[in-house]
Structure 1
């Protein structure tokens, strides 16, 4: 059984073992220190044959690192707040103020537009029927491009009178 495991380790290092068998083999290697040592030797041999540089660590290297980390003290000091937090907060406050000012003035302008519309409606209602008829007539003339009469420019000649044709 052990020789078969060693052969599977060799195939694993050479990347010739299929995935389900690789997973099963790695699970068994995790719990067997003898297989771990053999796998490490095979990996070193493979790297040496390929001409790669290899560094050998002790078998208990990970345990030593874990013990060293446990022995280090833990400092529970408050961290200084970064300037990024202050910048983000000030940007959010500035955006909120800008939004409030824009909303306030938009409401004010809306009220002024409503007041102006009411004044226009009231002024139109107060006009006499003759003035309303005159206003409608001016609108008709503007719509039909008779702007000279609408603007009360009686002394200006029309375009047709200004243009002339000269023959040679």
Structure 2
């Protein structure tokens, strides 16, 4: 069953409260995010609306309601890395499993290619099996595994980095 029509709009101030709520769910209840304290709307706005159109964020809309958001962020703040973007997909908990993730990922990959990116990476907590499987099913390959890189909920956590080469680049 395909989802009802999805659209992707550049995230703006009108989306910040809802995007913050979505993100903070993952901060408070999961190891999807390595933040340990919820973000304020102001912090989320600073992290998301930074003015560089190559590193853009988009609201995932369905039936005129925000279902999540997707973003490309800077992989490293050094010029040679400008051909690589780090991507993230955050959906409302009730929107997961509804076949929204794949079209959202395809959209952000297309935007990345249009903006000259050559490589995309996704950094995922190793215990997040569904996200790891999602990226693997969509052509990403594991390129790194870092052990005990963070602590949350009183546990050491590992991260896995997945990578995909996309059209574009220099």
**Based on CA coordinates, which of the two structures has the bigger radius of gyration?**
1
TM-score band, normalised by shorter chain: under 0.3
Identify, as 1 or 2, the structure richer in helix. 1
* Higher-RCO chain (CA-CA 8 Å, sequence separation at least 6): 2
Taking structure 1 as the reference length, the TM-score comes to 0.26
Identify, as 1 or 2, the structure richer in strand. 2
